Amino acid sequence: MTAYRRVAARLAAVVTLLVAAPACASKSLGPQLIGVPATVPLAELSGVTLQVGDQKGGTEALLRAAHALDNVPYKIVFSTFTSGPPQIEALTAGKIDFAITGNTPPVFGAAANSKTRVVAAWDGAAAGEQILVRAGSSINSVRDLKGKTILLAKGSAAHANILEHLADAGLKTADVKLVFLQPADALSAFASGQGDAWVIWEPYTAQAHLTLKVRSIGSAANGYWFGSASVEALTDPKRNSALADLLGRYERAAQWSRDNPSEWAGKYAKAVGLDIKIAELAQSHLQRLPIPLDDKVVAAEQRLANLFAAADQIPEAPDFAKWVDRRFNSVLVASATT
């Protein structure tokens, strides 16, 4: 009996280690692999509801303006969020199935081991993501920002923009003073003389250029936008098939906006309550160009992850590639050529 008990004790210890191992290793190994379910014909999606995260004047406004939601064979429910990070949280919580955000929320999502995957990418936003200074400022380059106060939104594309520019200029975050403000508050602060520079995106960039005396000393190197989906939706055959269809519709809507810039700017201005001139300038900087989720795109996002980790904004840099799912690359290429 003694020998039997010793063997049983060893087996129990091994089982305990095996059960505990996945929980201990999950953070370092990243998210689990997920399969691609079989495609379901559109005619069989009538009972499907896609929950889509959005921002004011964003995905829904563009799709409706381009009539890309006509004859959708499934139901879409749009939920409006103030920014990208809450949408990633909602995806992880299973409250929405899909959302389009800037380049930074997916990085923070990966760092938090979110139950999401990046499934689509677009380029063409870099021109509207700028580092602004006052027209009469002595600051002429990013190097001149040393010791200066910079206004920006924490964890945003603007945050990523300034981290990249500082690194390229040989500066660290300790060399400047970052003041975190949401865009509307930053606009008021900068207009009243606070801060030496403001890092911002559209439509605030256009608003600043047209209502304040400002100039830009740099645009973003990474102008990517990303479509992220919940793991739950990607593993559901019907929702996965509906997502493929929705992405195709979005591509066609984006092409329509490029072909009809004045009409889109007018509808965008109405949707967000902006002056038409501001809307026209802002949308001229947002091309929404479809690109494949290739190694170049992943490397650009990995650089952001590394910079945020170095700046102590996230505990450690995730292996971003593990949160990328390229299943829809062929769908997007086909949509872009039709």
317/242 Cα distance (integer angstroms)? 32
Whether 236 and 331 map to the same domain: the answer is yes
Whether 115 and 235 map to the same domain: the answer is yes
**Phi/psi of residue 119, each to 5°?**
-120, -5
Whether 241 and 157 map to the same domain: the answer is no
Q: What's the whole-model pTM score?
A: 0.87
Q: Are 105 and 84 in contact (CB under 8 A)?
A: yes
What is the rounded average pLDDT of the residues 6-18?
35
Whether 242 and 328 map to the same domain: the answer is yes
**Helix, strand or coil, per DSSP, at residue 77:** strand
**Phi/psi of residue 272, each to 5°?**
-110, -5
- Amino acid identity at 99: A
Whether 154 and 136 map to the same domain: the answer is yes
CATH number of the domain within which 194 lies: 3.40.190.10
What are the beta bridge partners of residue 200? 130
Q: In total, how many domains does the chain have? A: 2
Whether 114 and 227 map to the same domain: the answer is yes
Whether 214 and 326 map to the same domain: the answer is no
Whether 115 and 234 map to the same domain: the answer is yes
Q: Is residue 35 part of a domain?
A: no
322 band by pLDDT with thresholds 50, 70 and 90: very high
Quick check: 170 pLDDT over 70?
yes
What are the beta bridge partners of residue 151? 179, 198
| Residue span of the structural domain in which 244 resides | 42-123+223-335
C-alpha dist (Å) from residue 250 to 114, 185, 317: 24, 31, 31
pLDDT for 338 equals 54
317/302 Cα distance (integer angstroms)? 8
Q: Is residue 243 part of a domain?
A: yes
pLDDT for 83 equals 87
Quick check: 325 pLDDT over 80?
yes
Residues 6+ apart with CB under 8 A from 253: 62, 63, 65, 66, 68
36/185 Cα distance (integer angstroms)? 43
Q: Is residue 24 part of a domain?
A: no
Q: Are 83 and 156 in contact (CB under 8 A)?
A: yes
Whether 240 and 324 map to the same domain: the answer is yes
Identify the domain boundary among 219, 235, 257: 219
330 band by pLDDT with thresholds 50, 70 and 90: confident
Residues 6+ apart with CB under 8 A from 131: 142, 150, 161, 162, 165, 197, 198, 199, 216, 217, 218, 219
Tokens of 173: 């975050």
- The tens digit of pLDDT for each residue in 110-151 reads 999 999 999 999 999 999 999 999 999 999 999 999 999 999
- The tens digit of pLDDT for each residue in 219-242 reads 999 999 999 999 999 999 999 999
C-alpha dist (Å) from residue 167 to 64, 143, 314, 336: 40, 10, 17, 35
Identify the domain boundary among 186, 219, 252: 219
Q: Are 40 and 84 in contact (CB under 8 A)?
A: no
Whether 253 and 187 map to the same domain: the answer is no
